[in-house]
Amino acid sequence: MSFDVDVTVRRGGRDLHVAFAAGGGVTILFGPSGAGKTSTLDMIAGLLRPAAGHVRVAERTLFDHAAGIDLPPERRRAGYVFQDARLFPHRRVRANLLYGARSDARLAEVAATLDIAPLLGRWPRSLSGGEARRVAIGRALLADPDFLLLDEPLSSLDADRREEATRAIERVRDAAGLPILLVTHDAAEADRLGDRVVRVG
Protein backbone atom coordinates (compact mmCIF):
# COMPACT_ATOMS: atom_id res chain seq x y z
CA MET A 1 0.00 0.00 0.00
CA SER A 2 1.24 3.51 -0.82
CA PHE A 3 -0.78 5.01 2.03
CA ASP A 4 -1.96 3.18 5.16
CA VAL A 5 -3.45 5.79 7.47
CA ASP A 6 -5.56 5.33 10.60
CA VAL A 7 -5.37 8.39 12.85
CA THR A 8 -7.40 10.22 15.46
CA VAL A 9 -6.82 13.78 16.63
CA ARG A 10 -8.77 16.21 18.81
CA ARG A 11 -9.69 19.32 16.79
CA GLY A 12 -12.18 22.04 17.65
CA GLY A 13 -13.66 20.16 20.57
CA ARG A 14 -14.32 16.97 18.64
CA ASP A 15 -12.42 13.86 17.65
CA LEU A 16 -11.41 13.61 14.01
CA HIS A 17 -10.86 10.03 12.85
CA VAL A 18 -9.60 9.24 9.36
CA ALA A 19 -8.73 5.77 8.11
CA PHE A 20 -7.89 4.62 4.59
CA ALA A 21 -5.49 2.40 2.66
CA ALA A 22 -4.60 3.20 -0.93
CA GLY A 23 -2.34 1.95 -3.70
CA GLY A 24 -0.18 3.95 -6.09
CA GLY A 25 -1.13 6.92 -8.22
CA VAL A 26 -3.25 9.81 -6.96
CA THR A 27 -5.50 9.39 -3.93
CA ILE A 28 -8.02 12.18 -3.44
CA LEU A 29 -9.12 13.30 0.02
CA PHE A 30 -12.54 14.71 -0.81
CA GLY A 31 -14.99 16.54 1.41
CA PRO A 32 -16.37 19.90 2.50
CA SER A 33 -14.30 22.68 4.05
CA GLY A 34 -13.61 22.04 7.73
CA ALA A 35 -13.94 18.25 7.43
CA GLY A 36 -10.33 17.62 8.47
CA LYS A 37 -8.61 17.09 5.12
CA THR A 38 -5.74 19.49 5.78
CA SER A 39 -5.35 18.14 9.33
CA THR A 40 -4.94 14.68 7.81
CA LEU A 41 -2.14 15.91 5.54
CA ASP A 42 -0.52 17.62 8.54
CA MET A 43 -0.61 14.36 10.51
CA ILE A 44 0.98 12.44 7.62
CA ALA A 45 3.66 15.13 7.24
CA GLY A 46 4.41 15.19 10.97
CA LEU A 47 3.17 18.74 11.54
CA LEU A 48 0.28 17.61 13.75
CA ARG A 49 0.57 14.72 16.20
CA PRO A 50 -2.32 12.26 16.27
CA ALA A 51 -3.69 11.11 19.61
CA ALA A 52 -3.82 7.54 18.36
CA GLY A 53 -3.29 5.37 15.32
CA HIS A 54 -0.60 4.96 12.67
CA VAL A 55 0.73 6.43 9.44
CA ARG A 56 2.58 4.23 6.95
CA VAL A 57 3.68 5.25 3.48
CA ALA A 58 5.10 2.70 1.05
CA GLU A 59 5.44 0.18 3.91
CA ARG A 60 7.49 2.67 5.97
CA THR A 61 6.12 3.56 9.40
CA LEU A 62 6.15 7.31 10.01
CA PHE A 63 3.95 7.28 13.10
CA ASP A 64 2.66 4.53 15.36
CA HIS A 65 1.20 5.64 18.67
CA ALA A 66 1.19 2.16 20.21
CA ALA A 67 4.81 1.48 19.21
CA GLY A 68 6.06 4.93 20.21
CA ILE A 69 7.22 5.82 16.69
CA ASP A 70 6.94 9.47 15.63
CA LEU A 71 9.44 10.50 12.96
CA PRO A 72 10.11 14.26 12.78
CA PRO A 73 8.89 16.00 9.62
CA GLU A 74 12.36 16.25 8.07
CA ARG A 75 12.76 12.45 8.22
CA ARG A 76 9.38 11.65 6.65
CA ARG A 77 10.51 12.61 3.14
CA ALA A 78 7.20 14.23 2.24
CA GLY A 79 6.91 16.80 -0.52
CA TYR A 80 4.20 19.10 0.89
CA VAL A 81 2.58 21.78 -1.28
CA PHE A 82 0.41 24.02 0.89
CA GLN A 83 -2.71 25.92 -0.15
CA ASP A 84 -0.64 29.08 -0.44
CA ALA A 85 2.57 28.58 -2.42
CA ARG A 86 4.83 29.81 0.44
CA LEU A 87 7.62 30.89 -1.88
CA PHE A 88 10.47 32.94 -0.42
CA PRO A 89 9.86 36.51 -1.63
CA HIS A 90 13.56 37.43 -1.44
CA ARG A 91 14.68 34.53 -3.68
CA ARG A 92 14.18 34.29 -7.40
CA VAL A 93 12.28 31.31 -8.79
CA ARG A 94 15.46 29.30 -9.46
CA ALA A 95 16.63 29.74 -5.85
CA ASN A 96 13.16 28.87 -4.56
CA LEU A 97 13.16 25.68 -6.61
CA LEU A 98 16.58 24.63 -5.36
CA TYR A 99 15.85 25.36 -1.70
CA GLY A 100 16.19 21.98 0.00
CA ALA A 101 17.39 20.24 -3.17
CA ARG A 102 20.47 18.06 -2.96
CA SER A 103 21.73 19.34 -6.32
CA ASP A 104 20.54 21.15 -9.42
CA ALA A 105 20.88 18.03 -11.59
CA ARG A 106 17.12 17.62 -12.06
CA LEU A 107 16.25 21.30 -12.30
CA ALA A 108 15.91 21.36 -16.11
CA GLU A 109 13.83 18.17 -16.13
CA VAL A 110 11.43 19.36 -13.44
CA ALA A 111 11.17 22.84 -14.93
CA ALA A 112 10.28 21.32 -18.30
CA THR A 113 7.68 18.98 -16.78
CA LEU A 114 5.96 21.88 -15.02
CA ASP A 115 6.52 24.38 -17.86
CA ILE A 116 8.29 26.84 -15.59
CA ALA A 117 11.70 27.12 -17.30
CA PRO A 118 10.90 30.66 -18.56
CA LEU A 119 10.20 31.72 -14.96
CA LEU A 120 13.58 30.84 -13.41
CA GLY A 121 14.91 34.40 -13.28
CA ARG A 122 11.73 36.02 -12.00
CA TRP A 123 10.74 37.12 -8.49
CA PRO A 124 7.79 35.40 -6.78
CA ARG A 125 5.82 38.67 -6.63
CA SER A 126 5.71 38.74 -10.44
CA LEU A 127 4.11 35.28 -10.76
CA SER A 128 0.46 34.50 -11.34
CA GLY A 129 -1.28 32.20 -8.89
CA GLY A 130 -0.95 29.25 -11.25
CA GLU A 131 2.74 29.92 -11.88
CA ALA A 132 3.42 30.14 -8.15
CA ARG A 133 1.65 26.80 -7.56
CA ARG A 134 3.71 25.13 -10.28
CA VAL A 135 6.92 26.51 -8.76
CA ALA A 136 5.86 25.21 -5.34
CA ILE A 137 5.24 21.74 -6.81
CA GLY A 138 8.65 21.90 -8.49
CA ARG A 139 10.36 22.80 -5.22
CA ALA A 140 8.67 19.82 -3.54
CA LEU A 141 9.80 17.47 -6.33
CA LEU A 142 13.40 18.72 -6.27
CA ALA A 143 13.65 17.88 -2.56
CA ASP A 144 13.55 14.23 -3.75
CA PRO A 145 10.50 13.17 -1.68
CA ASP A 146 9.11 9.67 -1.27
CA PHE A 147 5.55 10.99 -1.71
CA LEU A 148 3.64 14.20 -2.42
CA LEU A 149 0.95 15.93 -0.35
CA LEU A 150 -1.01 18.56 -2.30
CA ASP A 151 -3.44 20.69 -0.29
CA GLU A 152 -6.10 22.30 -2.52
CA PRO A 153 -3.51 22.98 -5.25
CA LEU A 154 -6.10 24.50 -7.61
CA SER A 155 -8.04 26.65 -5.15
CA SER A 156 -8.45 30.39 -5.77
CA LEU A 157 -7.23 30.15 -9.37
CA ASP A 158 -9.15 31.49 -12.34
CA ALA A 159 -10.17 29.07 -15.09
CA ASP A 160 -7.04 29.50 -17.23
CA ARG A 161 -4.60 29.25 -14.32
CA ARG A 162 -6.55 26.27 -12.94
CA GLU A 163 -6.18 24.45 -16.25
CA GLU A 164 -2.43 25.19 -16.34
CA ALA A 165 -1.96 23.85 -12.81
CA THR A 166 -4.15 20.81 -13.50
CA ARG A 167 -2.10 19.85 -16.55
CA ALA A 168 1.09 20.27 -14.51
CA ILE A 169 -0.22 17.91 -11.82
CA GLU A 170 -1.20 15.40 -14.52
CA ARG A 171 2.33 15.52 -15.95
CA VAL A 172 3.82 14.99 -12.48
CA ARG A 173 1.39 12.12 -11.86
CA ASP A 174 2.36 10.43 -15.12
CA ALA A 175 6.11 11.10 -14.98
CA ALA A 176 7.23 11.04 -11.35
CA GLY A 177 5.80 7.71 -10.22
CA LEU A 178 5.36 9.01 -6.67
CA PRO A 179 2.34 8.27 -4.47
CA ILE A 180 0.29 11.47 -4.33
CA LEU A 181 -2.35 12.48 -1.78
CA LEU A 182 -4.38 15.45 -3.02
CA VAL A 183 -6.99 17.39 -1.04
CA THR A 184 -9.97 18.95 -2.81
CA HIS A 185 -13.63 19.75 -2.31
CA ASP A 186 -14.22 19.97 -6.09
CA ALA A 187 -15.89 16.87 -7.55
CA ALA A 188 -14.75 17.53 -11.13
CA GLU A 189 -11.17 18.00 -9.95
CA ALA A 190 -11.33 14.73 -7.97
CA ASP A 191 -12.74 12.87 -10.98
CA ARG A 192 -10.10 14.21 -13.37
CA LEU A 193 -7.00 13.77 -11.24
CA GLY A 194 -7.70 10.88 -8.89
CA ASP A 195 -7.21 7.15 -9.21
CA ARG A 196 -9.42 6.78 -6.13
CA VAL A 197 -11.37 9.00 -3.78
CA VAL A 198 -11.44 8.88 0.04
CA ARG A 199 -14.33 10.86 1.50
CA VAL A 200 -13.67 12.84 4.66
CA GLY A 201 -16.42 14.41 6.77
Q: List, in order of start, the domains of the chain with CATH numbers.
A: 3-199 (3.40.50.300)
CA distance 54 to 142: 27
CA distance 192 to 170: 9
Output the tens digit of pLDDT for each of the chain's 201 residues: 799 999 999 877 888 899 999 998 999 999 888 889 999 999 999 999 999 999 999 999 999 999 999 999 999 999 999 988 899 999 999 999 999 898 899 999 999 999 999 999 999 999 999 999 999 999 999 999 999 999 999 888 888 889 988 999 999 998 878 999 999 989 999 999 999 999 987
The pTM of this model reads 0.93
Instruction: Go through 6-33 and write b for each residue having 16 or more CB atoms within 10 A of its CB, e for each that does not.
Output: bbbbeeeeeebebebebeebbbbbbbee
Q: Name the nearest CA neighbour of 122 among 141, 94, 98, 99.
A: 94
